[in-house]
């Protein structure tokens, strides 16, 4: 029985992560296409700060790296996957640094994509994205020799970057319902993916569960802290 079940589980994992990679590419293109990646095809304010360009292309590289790594695993090119993993370790700190700088710049100079929330308060959202990413990616590196844990934690790092993409979706949902949209959708997506993974594999991956709980809790925590004196004092200091 085990010999029959395990191959099916591996096939499911391959389809699961390939679908996730395709979904993330679609989300990034819909969200960031008009304002960044496909900007020449659309009208809108120019991007004047270099750090935004740098961070945008680094994030594109991160998504591309995820897609390539999913392909290598699906194609059973494990050694190439492991070697390319070093590129991810080198890229992650630069993504985090430019993410912090982009968040501070948006709060200081404004951003056309920001929802109707005071800039210093909203700065906690992208700032928190970088903190959560660092923790989840660190956990994924810690579990690099445990493939089921490692790849699910990496998937959570990608879901962590869904909010800024869907916040830019056309239709004005961010302006009309705010965090319920850009935090609510990734939260539901995380729960659905954990449930689907558990049902199909007939086993709950604890790293996926606790990582997902942490991801969702961090979203709610940012909303609770964004208007506090402690956060606003830090944000004011960071933007001076």
The 10s digit of each residue's pLDDT in 171-220 is 888 888 888 999 999 999 999 999 999 998 889 999 999 999 999 999 99
Tokens of 111: 């951003």
**Model pLDDT for residues 24-48, shown as the tens digit of each residue:** 889 988 988 888 888 888 887 788 7
Q: Label residue 11 exposed, middle or buried (CB < 10 Å: 0-12, 13-18, 19+).
A: exposed
- How far apart (Å, rounded) are the C-alpha atoms in residues 201 and 197? 6
**Model pLDDT for residues 74-94, shown as the tens digit of each residue:** 888 989 999 999 999 999 999
Tokens of 14: 């391959």
- How far apart (Å, rounded) are the C-alpha atoms in residues 124 and 80? 37
Residue 8 has pLDDT above 80, yes or no: no
Q: Which 3 state secondary structure label does DSSP give 144?
A: coil
**Model pLDDT for residues 116-142, shown as the tens digit of each residue:** 889 999 999 999 999 999 999 999 999
Q: Helices marked H in the chain — which ranges? A: 2-32, 50-74, 78-109, 119-122, 124-142, 147-159, 162-166, 173-177, 179-182, 184-201, 206-225, 229-238
Q: What is the pLDDT of residue 25?
A: 87
Long-range contacts of 182-185 (CB under 8 A, 24+ apart): 182/115, 183/219, 183/220, 183/223
Tell me the CB-side half-sphere exposure of residue 147, using CA atoms within 13 A: 12
Find tokens 């959202």 and name the residue: 125
Q: Where are the domains of the chain?
A: 2-238
Question: Given pLDDT bands bounded at 50, 70 and 90, which one contains residue 7?
Answer: low
Q: What is the pLDDT of residue 158?
A: 93
């Amino acid at each position: 029985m085990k010999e029959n079940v395990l191959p099916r589980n591996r096939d499911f994992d391959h389809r699961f992560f390939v679908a996730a990679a395709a979904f993330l590419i679609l989300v990034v293109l819909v969200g960031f296409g008009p304002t960044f990646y496909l900007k020449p095809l659309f009208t809108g304010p120019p991007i004047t700060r270099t750090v935004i360009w740098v961070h945008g292309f680094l994030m594109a590289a991160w998504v591309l790296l995820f897609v390539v790594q999913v392909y290598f695993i699906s194609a059973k090119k494990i050694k190439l996957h492991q070697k390319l993993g070093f590129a991810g370790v080198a890229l992650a700190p630069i993504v985090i640094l430019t993410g912090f700088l982009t968040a501070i710049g948006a709060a200081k100079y404004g951003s056309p994509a920001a929802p109707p929330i005071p800039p210093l308060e909203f700065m906690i959202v992208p700032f928190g994205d970088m903190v959560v990413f660092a923790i989840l990616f660190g956990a994924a590196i810690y579990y690099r020799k445990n493939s089921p844990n490692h790849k699910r934690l990496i998937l959570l790092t990608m879901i962590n970057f869904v909010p800024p993409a869907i916040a830019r979706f056309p239709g004005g949902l961010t302006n009309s319902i705010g965090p319920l949209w850009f935090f609510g959708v990734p939260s539901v997506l995380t729960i659905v993916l954990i449930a689907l993974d558990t049902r199909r594999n007939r086993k709950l991956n604890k790293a996926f569960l606790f990582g997902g709980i942490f991801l969702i809790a961090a979203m709610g925590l940012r909303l609770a802290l964004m208007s506090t004196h402690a956060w606003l004092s830090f944000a004011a200091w960071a933007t001076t």
